[in-house]
Amino acid sequence: MNLQDFWNETLSQLKSDMDEGEFSFVFSSLQFEASTGNKITLSVPSAFFREQLKGKYLKVLEEKLWELTGQKIDFDFSLRKPEVAPKVRVSEQPREPMEETKPQRTVPRKAHSQLNPDYTLENYVVGKNNEFAYSCAVSISKDPGNAYNPFFLYGGVGLGKTHLIQALGNAIHRNNDKIQVTYVPAESFVNEFLTAIKDRTQNAFKNKYRNADVLLIDDIHDLQNKKDTQEELFNTFNALYEAKKQIVFTSDRPPQELKAFAERLLSRLTRGIIADLQLPTWETRLVILRTKMESKGIRLSDAVVELVAKNVSTNIRDLEAALNKIWAYGELLNREITLEVAQEQLKSVFAGPAQQNIAIDLVQRVVAETHNLGIQDLKGKKRTQAITLPRQIAMFLIRELTEYSTTEVGTEFGGRDHTTVMHAVQKIEDKMRTEPSFEIKIQNLIRTVRDRAGS
């Protein structure tokens, strides 16, 4: 039995079963190294990649190989050493003296007029919450128009959408400034379109956007209910896509949640790769804070940084706001920012709208609407799967987003015992760990609840 042939067939079948972007992102980094007995050895680029692969895809690989071989195939993963450029052998023959030449000066490329130069891929903090979106952006920057086109990026307020889309534009511009990169917020696109109609300059408007090599449109959700503008974007999309020009969109919600959008435009938005930005983990929040501190020359103790990272879990924007507040306090009053000072200055932030404005009935209403149920279904006694899972999701979200105790939560669900709530939370956490698509669903619900609470 040649396991390498079976491995190649496994990849072939997975490629046809999976989303093209996901398959490329995961399996293009794997290399077949060897096989002995019933074991395949694969090399991976990093330990982090290895753990992600084991957690999300190892079972899929094992099941596929079982189907093909009728035997259980084990896997071993080795870390691949980074490639090192070969050393150039210096000739030992004596050389004739050469005229001293002045080193050539490299002229830095001019910054893109529509993009913030501070937004780069190099200073974008990558964690589990955004690694897939970031990897897609890096791939696009190297080969715009061919890899992942169109690219649809979504996430809640302050999670880094604008940073990533502009960093992508800056990377393309830096690599080749002859590539025409056009960036526009959707609201500006609407206003320009209306002005073009009023001034009868539609041709100039069309030429501006249809001659772009890379079109970046930020916050496309602002086009909801803009029927004529959507029609123009649809035609612009077709012209660019057929010419193999790169198109990138950002939104605060996934395409299927965009309301009052033409169906044919939605079909175009979902034609390529879709990636989401989730809430940063505690570890990622720590890295974000330390990166911001380094760029601004801020010095704070580890205890203070960890305090902020633990208590500000909403988004990156709020993290930076909290950091700026305590830094400004220390600078203006010439005081050391101790743990006690930080707690005092940020107590309003820590007890802010992320926790206080979220009511139990709001969470119940969002979950019920998402699953086509009524709130009374969640509070009732029925235990069918169609109701039990949404009920557990609602309990999990309330415990995640509020300070209510398990006893208080149980009371709001028909007087259930606190152990029922604890069991529900555990069930949802287990399901999130084993099903990536379910985890994305939960993150979308969290974003929806936060958005409604904020409004």
- Confirm if 253 and 277 have CB atoms less than 8 A apart: no
Asked, for residue 189, whether it belongs to a domain, the answer is yes
Same domain, 160 and 272: yes
| Dihedral sign, Cα of residue 165, residue 436, residue 267, residue 369 | negative
Q: What is the distance between the alpha carbons of residues 397 and 392, in angstroms, rounded to a whole number?
A: 9
Rounded to a whole number, what is the distance in angstroms from the first to the last CA of the chain?
62
Distances (CA, A) of 329 to 176, 228, 315, 349, 441: 43, 49, 22, 14, 39
Residue 238 has a pLDDT of 95
CATH number of the domain at 441, please: 1.10.1750.10
Q: What is the distance between the alpha carbons of residues 338 and 292, in angstroms, rounded to a whole number?
A: 19
Asked, for residue 265, whether it belongs to a domain, the answer is yes
CATH number of the domain at 339, please: 1.10.8.60
Q: Residue 399: which of 385, 410, 383, 386 has the closest Cα? A: 410
Residue 103 has a pLDDT of 47
Asked, for residue 72, whether it belongs to a domain, the answer is yes
118-125 long-range contacts (CB < 8 A, ≥24 apart) are: 119/162, 119/163, 119/164, 119/166, 119/167, 119/170, 120/167, 120/170, 120/171, 121/167, 121/168, 121/170, 121/171, 123/291, 123/295, 124/160, 124/163, 124/164, 124/167, 125/280, 125/284, 125/287, 125/288, 125/291
Same domain, 197 and 330: no
Residue 21 has a pLDDT of 52
Residue 83 has a pLDDT of 42
Asked, for residue 112, whether it belongs to a domain, the answer is no
| Dihedral sign, Cα of residue 412, residue 418, residue 424, residue 426 | positive
Same domain, 270 and 156: yes
Asked, for residue 84, whether it belongs to a domain, the answer is no
**pTM of the shown model:** 0.56
Same domain, 135 and 150: yes
Asked, for residue 111, whether it belongs to a domain, the answer is no
- Confirm if 127 and 281 have CB atoms less than 8 A apart: yes
Same domain, 339 and 367: no
Residue 202 has a pLDDT of 92
CATH number of the domain at 267, please: 3.40.50.300
Same domain, 273 and 140: yes
- Number of structural domains (the chain) is 4
Q: What is the distance between the alpha carbons of residues 376 and 393, in angstroms, rounded to a whole number?
A: 15
Is the backbone of residue 373 left (phi > 0), alpha (psi -120 to 50) or beta? Answer: beta
Q: What is the distance between the alpha carbons of residues 272 and 147, in angstroms, rounded to a whole number?
A: 9
- Confirm if 243 and 250 have CB atoms less than 8 A apart: no
User: Could you list the pLDDT tens digit for every one of the 455 residues in the chain?
Assistant: 578 888 888 888 888 776 555 666 567 778 888 888 888 998 876 665 676 677 778 888 888 888 888 888 889 888 765 443 333 333 344 444 444 444 444 445 678 888 999 899 988 888 888 889 999 999 999 999 987 899 999 887 778 899 999 999 999 999 998 999 999 999 999 999 999 999 999 999 999 999 999 999 999 998 988 999 999 999 999 999 999 999 999 998 888 878 889 999 999 998 889 998 887 888 888 888 988 888 888 888 888 988 888 888 777 888 888 898 888 888 888 888 998 988 888 887 776 544 445 788 899 999 999 999 999 999 998 888 899 999 999 999 998 888 777 887 888 898 888 888 989 999 998 898 888 788 888 988 988 888 787 65
Same domain, 64 and 159: no
The residue range of the domain holding 307 is 282-351
Same domain, 365 and 300: no
Residue 123 has a pLDDT of 86
Residue 357 has a pLDDT of 58
Same domain, 189 and 270: yes
Same domain, 268 and 178: yes
Asked, for residue 306, whether it belongs to a domain, the answer is yes
Same domain, 296 and 418: no
Q: Does 185 sit behind a cis peptide bond, omega within 30 degrees of 0 on the bond before it? A: no
Same domain, 326 and 365: no
The DSSP letter of residue 156 is -
144 by Cβ neighbours in 10 Å (0-12 / 13-18 / 19+) ranks as: buried
